[in-house]
Amino acid sequence: AANAAAQAGDGPIVHLFQWRWESVARECEDVLGPNGYGAVQVSPPQEHVVLEGEGHPWWQDYQPVSYSLDNTRRGTRSEFAAMVERCRDAGVKIYVDAVINHMSGTGSVGSGPGSGGSTYGKYSYPGVPYGDGDFSDCRSDISDWNDPREVQNCELVSLSDLDTGSEHVRGTVADYLNDLVGLGVAGFRVDAAKHVPAEDLQSIFSRLDAVPGFGGAPYIFQEVLEGGGPESIRPPGYTHLGDVTDTRYHSEVGARIRDGRLAGVLDTVRGGMAVASDQAVVFVDNHDTQRNDTSISRQGMGQRHTLAQALTIAQPYGTAKVMSSYRFDSDQQGPPSTGEEEGNPAGAITAPTECGQDGWYCEHRGLNAMPTFATAVGDAPAAERARDSAARIAFDRGERGFAAFNATGSDWTLTAPTALPDGSYCDVANGTIGATGRCGSGAYEVAGGTVTVTVPAEGVVALHVDALCADG
């Protein structure tokens, strides 16, 4: 995208949904930096409602009550700042989920204190401060989703809708985002962007500072769900401001992979997506879709989900966003908690992430060094090189990468033509790349324009020119 200096050429984004700040910092150092991720999307860092009566659901975070970073259930302002620095030192950016369309609704507790101790009530947030006059005149729910006036000025699930047309709200939101930029935050996922007029976002984004350490304007990607109505409230209506999430990828490609119909994925991403490739952020699932349709998630797909995320990184459309989440029994359920809630205003403090324990899936860890593939191939076009039934495909990305996918229960050994230069390549899908260039997994030979690989059942093999094998 036009202003995307911070993301172009970077590796994939990983959403560490509901992770506490200390755990994100550790993950940047130990896993994300070494394996080629460009950025982490973190959960909303601003003070939020505390809904004890509803069991501290994950969605407390989407109801801001002030822009204080002290305390959310994930940590303090100083822990947040330390995370940004440690990730930056590991070469990984932090993108914040920016909830700027609205403040709180009326849940089991319609008034304060919030997680940081602020008092509030619907339409009154002295901790910001916002008062009654800072909210849209329409004080009822959106009912006609084809009418831009309602979609943008009425209430999304009863959340008090900020009057983003006003100077005070625009300036206050920009101050919040610049506070984060000042700490080194390099980008934003703009929550509910569809519900904010593009001209209001344009005014807010125009006030943002350059990102210290990385330089340039923060990277912007906007949550714009598809649906009816004019183009002004659909993804193409926002691409002049930054990138957009393309949920068509989730619903069409995600379902294809779930069903083992891999043949055809390349055609789908070539012809059927919402915006141009360099304007899209794509994912198999996100925190909303995995609750609306659990069949397309790690919880519903098992190992197939790892294949799906690897294929998302390898295919040529958009910037890939990897989901990393926790198991849930109810779609309301919050993250694994330390049980420290009693007497703590933040309530239900998120437990440090121990992958594989307490329900933390850590889906991204199963991808090994696959994220390095995205940076290595850049925007090189995809060319199919092999197919065996609908469930097994292999393709090149120009002369820079080759990847094979096997959505069946038995190994697939194939010999395929490839444009990769002759040499010995690490399989980045099944191992990490050591600092010395040693392969942490098997290596494969390309000779005379041909390669023979064995793709594990429900697995992936991926080779690229930045992971030539130094093992001799």
DSSP code, position 142: -
One-letter amino acid of 421: P
Q: By CB under 6 A, what part of segment 46-85 binds ligand LM2? A: 59, 62-63
Q: By CB under 6 A, what part of segment 320-349 binds ligand LM2? A: none
Q: What would the 3-class secondary structure string for 15-76 be?
A: EECCCCHHHHHHHHHHHHCCCCCCEEEECCCCCECCCHHHCCCHHHHHCECCCCCCCECCEC
- Grouping H, G, I as helix, E, B as strand and the rest as coil, residue 283 is coil
Please pick, among 223, 243, 363, 427, the residue that the annotation labels catalytic.
223
106 binds ligand LM2 (CB under 6 A): yes
443 binds ligand LM2 (CB under 6 A): no
161 binds Ca ion (CB under 5 A): yes
Please pick, among 22, 47, 155, 191, the residue that the annotation labels catalytic.
191
Q: Write out the two tokens for 327.
A: 């198991």
192 binds ligand LM2 (CB under 6 A): yes
99 binds ligand LM2 (CB under 6 A): yes
In whole angstroms, give the CA distance from residue 109 to residue 107: 5
Q: By CB under 6 A, what part of segment 287-316 binds ligand LM2? A: 288
Q: Which of 76, 118, 119, 158 is close enough to bind ligand LM2 by CB under 6 A?
A: 158
Nearest to 313 by CA among 270, 286, 281, 356: 281
Q: By CB under 5 A, what part of segment 190-209 binds Ca ion? A: 195
Q: Give the per-residue contact string, 422-441, with ligand LM2 (x = CB under 6 A; - = no).
A: --------------------
Q: Which of 24, 159, 262, 463 is close enough to bind ligand LM2 by CB under 6 A?
A: 159
Nearer to Ca ion, 152 or 297 (CB): 152
Segment interacting with ligand LM2, rule: CB under 6 A, options 85-93, 145-153, 155-163, 403-411: 155-163
Whether residue 345 contacts residue 331, with contact meaning beta carbons closer than 8 Å, is answered with no
Strands (E), 367-449: 382-387, 392-397, 401-406, 412-417, 423-426, 443-447
Residue 105 interacting entry, from Ca ion, ligand LM2, none, C-beta within 5 to 8 Å by type: ligand LM2
Number of Cβ within 10 Å of residue 266's Cβ equals 20
Q: Which residue is nearest to Ca ion (CB)?
A: 195
Tell me whether residue 191 is one of the annotated catalytic residues: yes
Q: Which residue is nearest to ligand LM2 (CB)?
A: 105
- Grouping H, G, I as helix, E, B as strand and the rest as coil, residue 215 is coil
Nearest to 431 by CA among 36, 12, 19, 15: 36
Whether residue 120 contacts residue 64, with contact meaning beta carbons closer than 8 Å, is answered with no
Whether residue 65 contacts residue 103, with contact meaning beta carbons closer than 8 Å, is answered with yes
Nearer to ligand LM2, 96 or 420 (CB): 96
First to last CA, the chain: 41
Segment interacting with ligand LM2, rule: CB under 6 A, options 84-92, 157-165, 274-282, 463-471: 157-165
121 binds ligand LM2 (CB under 6 A): no
CB of 43 to ligand LM2, least distance (A): 10
223 binds Ca ion (CB under 5 A): no
H/E segment holding residue 300 = helix 298-301
CB of 429 to ligand LM2, least distance (A): 29
Q: Which of 55, 78, 131, 157 is close enough to bind ligand LM2 by CB under 6 A?
A: 157
Whether residue 193 contacts residue 224, with contact meaning beta carbons closer than 8 Å, is answered with yes
226 binds ligand LM2 (CB under 6 A): no
Nearer to Ca ion, 138 or 383 (CB): 138
101 binds Ca ion (CB under 5 A): yes
Q: Which of 191, 243, 363, 458 is close enough to bind ligand LM2 by CB under 6 A?
A: 191
Whole-angstrom CA distances from 142 to 50, 126, 148, 196, 297 are 25, 26, 10, 13, 29
One-letter amino acid of 472: G
Residue 106 interacting entry, from Ca ion, ligand LM2, none, C-beta within 5 to 8 Å by type: ligand LM2
Nearer to Ca ion, 101 or 353 (CB): 101
Q: Which chain residues interact with Ca ion by CB under 5 A?
A: 101, 152, 161, 195
- Residues annotated as catalytic are 191, 223
